[in-house]
Amino acid sequence: MNQNVARGGVGRRTIHDVALAAGVSTATVSRVTSGNYPVAKATRARVERAMRELGYVANANARALARSNSNLIGIIISDMVDPFFAYVARGVEIEASSRGLMSLVCPTRGAMTESDFVDMLLERRAALIVLVGGAVVDENYHQAIRERHERLAAAGSRLVLCGRPGVGGPAPVTAVEYDNVGGARAITDLLLNAGHRRILYLGGPPALSTTRARVHGFVSALADRGIDQPAELIRTGQFSRSWAQQGLHDALDEGADFTAVFAANDIAAAGVYAAARERGLRIPQDLSVVGYDDVPVARELNPGLTTVEVPLEALGREAVRAGLRDSGSSDPQASDEPTVLGTRVIHRESVAAPNPSRRPSRRQDRPGAGTR
């Protein structure tokens, strides 16, 4: 028992206080309070003791939740300032407001995880919880999502995966996606049709579902033209401007041979633009660049960035519609298939035919390189 928690300050105790005091996860506390899942006898005793010592009273049990959900929709995102998440969240909020529901945005950049926020929102009787953006997808993740889906369903609530793949299984979770692979194929085809054959793919965490889908679309488009993509031309890491800026410098310093860059998102493309300027490369005369998402920076870059438009606000709105539709449906197959929204290429000025006499890999080093 964590005595500091048990004897700590006054005020309304939460499920997180109980979990810390008992040395278990918030999910385990929820299982004990709901009574719907098996918990080891010793663990249950620890949790119940922590609840007594803290004076914790569950917000409501599952039966009460099923009869009395709040008007709250929880939106769980990884970053409030990333425009991808901001626009999806705005779509959720617009649709929620139109239905008399209130939205609560929960960013996971701090100490709390998606699971923590799901548990917190369940405690607050949220009618709907929307998980936004890609995920590291494996069987452990699938199982965790299914378990939380079942707990929420038992409480009369609903979990929606927005912008990430569904998890399948006997109790499918509502999923709203966009054609990530198709968008990547289309933007790669645009570069191929312009004459590019050596294309650098740059950005995105390698294990993330979003990155995997975009790389898959990129490689598939090349394979359809009989082009084998060298491993050195697929460089994944982060979606950030600074990472992509350094990534282009690194590729040039290593002598990688390419005439175009597929930046994993528009923020990464802004980093590519910055690095190109630092190396004396002109876009698109010396280097063609494309991005993904079509957030405002794509229009603000000079020249304007050719990119893939993701219907971000529509994605958020559809997540609310699908979640509420499935939560009120008596059809057990209501959420078997994800809702998939289309993407499209937005043509601007950042792509031109390759100029053999101005290959980026043959350009001089960046100014000041090696002078320290």
pLDDT for 199: 97
Q: Based on the fold, state whether residues 249 and 306 are members of the same structural domain.
A: yes
CA-to-CA distance for 213 and 191, rounded, in angstroms? 18
Q: Based on the fold, state whether residues 150 and 99 are members of the same structural domain.
A: yes
DSSP output for 67-95: H---SEEEEEES-SSSHHHHHHHHHHHHH
Q: Which of 4-8, 175-179, 202-206, 253-257 is predicted least confidently?
A: 4-8
**Can you give the residue range of the structural domain that contains 36?**
15-58
At how many degrees (to 10) do helices 266-278 and 241-253 cross? 50
CA 284 to chain centre: 30
Mean pLDDT in residue range 336-346: 89
| Percent of the chain residues past pLDDT 70, beyond the cut | 83
pLDDT for 59: 47
Q: Which of 46-50, 310-314, 346-350 is predicted least confidently?
A: 46-50
Q: Based on the fold, state whether residues 295 and 192 are members of the same structural domain.
A: yes
Looking up residue 163, the CATH number of its domain turns out to be 3.40.50.2300
Q: Residue 169: pLDDT band by 50, 70, 90 thresholds?
A: low
The model carries a pTM of: 0.77
CA-to-CA distance for 220 and 262, rounded, in angstroms? 14
Q: Domain for residue 220, yes or no?
A: yes
Q: Based on the fold, state whether residues 265 and 252 are members of the same structural domain.
A: yes
Looking up residue 28, the CATH number of its domain turns out to be 1.10.260.40
Residue 366 pLDDT > 80, yes or no? no
| Contact between residue 181 and residue 216 where contact means Cβ atoms under 8 Å apart | yes
Q: Domain for residue 351, yes or no?
A: no
Q: Are strands 174-178 and 199-202 parallel, antiparallel or unpaired?
A: unpaired
- How many domains does the chain fold into? 3
Residue 187 CB-half CA count within 13 A: 40
Q: Based on the fold, state whether residues 210 and 88 are members of the same structural domain.
A: no
Closest CA relative to residue 163, chosen from 197, 189, 137, 138: 137
Q: Based on the fold, state whether residues 194 and 265 are members of the same structural domain.
A: yes
Residue 40 pLDDT > 90, yes or no? no
CA-to-CA distance for 168 and 300, rounded, in angstroms? 40
What is the pLDDT of the chain when averaged over all its residues? 84
Q: Residue 5: pLDDT band by 50, 70, 90 thresholds?
A: very low
pLDDT: which is higher, 364 or 237: 237
Q: Based on the fold, state whether residues 116 and 152 are members of the same structural domain.
A: yes
CA dist list (Å): 99 to 94, 230, 315: 9, 50, 17
Q: Domain for residue 298, yes or no?
A: yes
Q: Based on the fold, state whether residues 187 and 285 are members of the same structural domain.
A: yes
Residue 77 pLDDT > 60, yes or no? yes
Q: Based on the fold, state whether residues 164 and 198 are members of the same structural domain.
A: no
Mean pLDDT in residue range 226-233: 93
pLDDT for 329: 45
Q: Domain for residue 238, yes or no?
A: yes
Q: Based on the fold, state whether residues 239 and 327 are members of the same structural domain.
A: no
Mean pLDDT in residue range 174-190: 96
Mean pLDDT in residue range 114-122: 85
**The two three-digit tokens of residue 204, written as one number:** 């995105």
Q: Domain for residue 368, yes or no?
A: no
pLDDT for 15: 76
265-305 tens-digit pLDDT: 999 999 999 999 999 999 999 999 999 999 999 999 999 99
Q: Domain for residue 346, yes or no?
A: no
Q: Domain for residue 360, yes or no?
A: no
Q: What are phi and psi of 332, to 5 degrees?
A: -65, -15
CA-to-CA distance for 251 and 298, rounded, in angstroms? 23
Q: Based on the fold, state whether residues 131 and 224 are members of the same structural domain.
A: no
Q: Based on the fold, state whether residues 184 and 299 are members of the same structural domain.
A: yes
pLDDT for 314: 97
